[in-house]
Structure 1
Amino acid sequence: MLRERAPRVQTSARGAAPVRIGTRGSALALAQTRVVAAALEKSGVPVELVTISTEGDRSTESLASLGGTGVFASALREALVQGKCDAIVHSLKDLPTQPHPGLVIAATPKREDVRDALCARDGLTLDSLPEGARIGTGSPRRRAQLSARRPDVEVVDIRGNVDTRLGRVGVDLDAVILAAAGLSRLGRLDAITEYLGIDGWPTAPGQGAVAIEVRAGEEKSVSSLDHRPTRVTVDAERQVLALLEAGCAAPIGAHALIDDGLLFLSARVYSADGAERLTSSHALYLSDVTNPATELATRVARELLDAGAATLAPLGGGV
């Protein structure tokens, strides 16, 4: 039986102290953490959930003004460092690329759907929404992509949990754009009116994946959940972001996949208004290099910078 209570050390009936997993209290965070907890319990590891409040959950300010999606991770990481929990679960797209001293990502379970999804009134698609339609998103990348694809619509900055955002559709918004994986985890796939194809609409590095972070040296507690193909692909995507030194305000999409021993990586940098974009795509055989994710990310990032990506978006990288 999965327990959810305040953080404390307790010995289970089976004689082992449970792994205390820290999580944000939002419905989506709890849903994905419960999936992780269930997988651990299935392997015989007792689990206890510890709910942690973050500034990002308490504030109604835009993510950019709060310092980016990393605002969600900081409180979780502090709780882990202080011993209030033994592991924390992040949406990987919200996790800063800079590692936290003393902490490591011990597992990345198998990735879910990487795509963005449009949730519109009356079953409309992105192309069938009327001129002047109001579309909600809190993502600079999605804003740039919308401006490029539909310059005639109004993009509205929004915050709030998934249900709050969906509740505005048909009220003061014509549509919102959300991650398909999050909607799936919440059982809200019925709200989707269109999946946005990854080739023309690359998503955030790491989207669709979760990361389980622990204190260095304690990786064994959750390492059984690591899915190697997911680890390699999200590492490649996130290393592009790190090499470009791109923050939350940088409209960047990236996608990697493994097929027949080949690792493919494509990344795209947009201008804030979506009027310009640069794309770089490379591939290599996994068996050809020691660290394929790093090698491929370096090629992609260097090509983007050489092509002038830093003039399009707020970047600071140099490789």
Structure 2
Amino acid sequence: MTGTAAPRALRLGTRASALATSQSGWVADRLRAAGHEVELVHVRTEGDVSRASLTEIGGTGVFASALRDALRRNEIDLAVHSLKDLPTAPEPGLVVAAVPEREDPRDVVVARDGLTLADLPAGAVVGTGSPRRAAQLAELRPDLTVRDIRGNVDTRIGYVRAGQLDAVVLARAGLARLARLDDATDVLPLDAMLPAPGQGALAVECRDDDPALRTALADALEHPPTRAAVDAERAVLAALGAGCTAPVAALAEPADPPALSLTVFVALGPVPLRHVTTGSDPVGLGHSAAEHLLSRLDPVDTGSHTTGA
């Protein structure tokens, strides 16, 4: 008598950092709850190895490329990305099958002595690897010194604990996924610090020639309101021709159903710009916002920031 082979476990590709494995573990738990067997497969990316600035090692997609290569080689069946790190251009042969419900997209400050951003003294040194955050910090507190840093959450907070920096700015979602929200000394309001497009959201990607897996991922994980919001935000980046390392922020929030309210910040020229608009077509809304901002920018300003979206 021939037995029936047990279904093969889904191979979920993840970066090996604590945050990446936490995010991937969260996705794996939900797939297991839906009846799937899942195993995590660690994939090393250049962004994990290099300590150079993101703009120096490729910017957009530096964390995603190795995972995508592993998908194409059939070494893994699906990959989990931080959506804000994912290029906006479609990737041949691959598809974002699910966008789960988003975490809180705000940024937080981790500062010495429990200080808030407002309490930091003039000249205090604040670390961030994000031009978006640096540009908004320059508006909020032009008296601070902003220093470019790299590293995982432990490394960045370690700079503060060791006295090398007075504060760092991090995504609240990352601290939440690591159960480290107590490290935050200040939560920055959205009207002061807009997040990166897609911040707080995850993307679950697989090969586009696997319809059964695409359906299974969507059924277990897809959150349509989050998908609509991030589609609008990422459409801004795509229309601007800007990558995830550009000083661009965007957040879409529910307005009168089915409309979204989209707020965008760009620092692509000498004067940062903000724009708020509403609409019911997420991609069209993002493109409209970008076109409005481009009409207010010098073409020379935008050309220097086209980083391969």
- Which residue of structure 2 lines up, in the alignment, with residue 51 of structure 1? 42
Q: Does 1:302 align with 2:294?
A: no
- Which residue of structure 1 lines up, in the alignment, with residue 65 of structure 2? 74
- Which residue of structure 1 lines up, in the alignment, with residue 195 of structure 2? 203
**Partners of 1:19 and 1:221 within 8 A in 2:** no
Among 130, 133, 136, which residue is 1:142 paired with?
A: 133
- Which residue of structure 1 lines up, in the alignment, with residue 264 of structure 2? 267
Secondary structure of the structure 2 residue equivalent to 1:66 = coil
Q: Does 1:176 align with 2:168?
A: yes
One-letter identity of the residue aligned with 2:234 = R
Rate the CA distance shift 1:173–1:14 in 2: closer, same or farther, 3 A: farther
Rate the CA distance shift 1:249–1:51 in 2: closer, same or farther, 3 A: closer
In the TM superposition, 1:186-197 aligns within 5 A as 186-197=178-189
Rate the CA distance shift 1:71–1:78 in 2: closer, same or farther, 3 A: same
Unpaired runs of at least 5, structure 2:
none
In the TM superposition, 1:1-319 aligns within 5 A as 15-170=6-161, 171-218=163-210, 219-224=214-219, 225-261=221-257, 262-271=259-268, 276-284=271-279, 286=280, 292-308=281-297, 310-313=299-302, 314-316=304-306
- Cα distance in 2 between the residues matched to 1:91 and 1:276: 29
Secondary structure of the structure 1 residue equivalent to 2:175 = helix
CA offsets 1:69-95 (integer angstroms, 9 cap, x no match): 411100000000100000000000011
Over the aligned positions, Cα root-mean-square deviation in angstroms equals 1.7
**Partners of 1:278 and 1:309 within 8 A in 2:** no
CA offsets 1:2-45 (integer angstroms, 9 cap, x no match): xxxxxxxxxxx982111110000000000000000000000001
Shift of 1:279: 1.5
- Cα distance in 2 between the residues matched to 1:255 and 1:310: 24
Secondary structure of the structure 2 residue equivalent to 1:126 = coil
One-letter identity of the residue aligned with 1:244 = L
Number of aligned positions between the proteins: 297
Rate the CA distance shift 1:116–1:311 in 2: closer, same or farther, 3 A: farther
One-letter identity of the residue aligned with 2:9 = P
- Cα distance in 2 between the residues matched to 1:223 and 1:188: 29
**Partners of 1:276 and 1:312 within 8 A in 2:** no
Rate the CA distance shift 1:254–1:310 in 2: closer, same or farther, 3 A: farther
Question: Runs of 4 or more off by more than 3 Å in structure 1?
Answer: 309-317
Q: Which moved more, 1:216-225 or 1:234-243?
A: 216-225
- Cα distance in 1 between the residues matched to 2:21 and 2:160: 24
Q: Which moved more, 1:190-199 or 1:102-111?
A: 190-199
Percent of paired sites with the same residue = 51
- Cα distance in 1 between the residues matched to 2:149 and 2:32: 36
**Partners of 1:67 and 1:248 within 8 A in 2:** no
One-letter identity of the residue aligned with 1:28 = L
- Cα distance in 2 between the residues matched to 1:245 and 1:106: 24
Secondary structure of the structure 2 residue equivalent to 1:152 = coil
**Partners of 2:60 and 2:243 within 8 A in 1:** no
Shift of 1:259: 3.3
CA offsets 1:60-114 (integer angstroms, 9 cap, x no match): 1111100114111000000001000000000000111112110000000000010
Shift of 1:247: 2.4
- Cα distance in 2 between the residues matched to 1:116 and 1:239: 21
Rate the CA distance shift 1:203–1:311 in 2: closer, same or farther, 3 A: farther
**Partners of 2:126 and 2:145 within 8 A in 1:** yes
Secondary structure of the structure 2 residue equivalent to 1:65 = coil
Rate the CA distance shift 1:309–1:235 in 2: closer, same or farther, 3 A: farther
One-letter identity of the residue aligned with 1:212 = V
- Cα distance in 1 between the residues matched to 2:218 and 2:8: 17
- Which residue of structure 2 lines up, in the alignment, with residue 4 of structure 1? none
